[in-house]
Amino acid sequence: MVAGTFKLRLLTAQRGIEVLSMRWSDIDGEWWTIPAEVSKNALPHRVPLSPQALAILEQLRPLTGDFEWVFTSPKKPGFHIIAVRKATLRIAAKAGVEFTAHDLRRTAATHMASMGVSRLTISKILNHVERGITAIYDRASYDAEKRRALLRWGEKVERIGSGSRELAGVVPIR
């Protein structure tokens, strides 16, 4: 189940606590809405789910679908997993690389940029708050752009996972 948290972080480019606190009720078809009380900027955030992300959720449904949380804590019934630090350390040790789970978010953003996704769309996917005059007037959701970008990203991750040689690596924190 913990592996699913890492996969969803990579496929959706969302923050760790946002993925870990995902509720089944937050998912509506091909969309996941991160509630304002969970998102870092205190604004609700709609995230399109690629077929690859939906497949992970479908694998988890038989395990946690009867509970509120997608990533239900095995130690504290009624709560979600709150941290994956030990799993992150095990992955880093096994791979022989310096790695933090947040690197998955950076990797997704970097690869989407290299695929030609605009910085504005990446910013919308990451749920960053824009500053400046244009941000005051531009109230568009960018849902279509976010969906196109995450669909393409999901396809790329799938190709990489199938053994394609186009993996450029994780982009570490430095």
Inter-helix orientation angle 2-12/103-114, to 10°:
30
Q: Residue 144, SS3?
A: helix
Q: Degrees (nearest 5) of the Cα angle 106, 110, 111?
A: 120
Number of Cβ within 10 Å of residue 65's Cβ equals 12
Query: How far apart (Å, rounded) are the C-alpha atoms in residues 136 and 17?
Result: 28
One-letter amino acid of 51: P
Burial of 80: CB neighbours in 10 Å, binned 0-12, 13-18, 19+: buried
Q: Name the one residue in this structure whose structure tokens are 């990533």.
A: 71
Annotated catalytic sites, by residue?
A: 15, 40, 102, 105, 128, 137
CA 93, distance to chain mean position in Å, is 23
Question: Where do the H-state alpha helices sit in 115-169?
Answer: 119-126, 133-137, 143-161
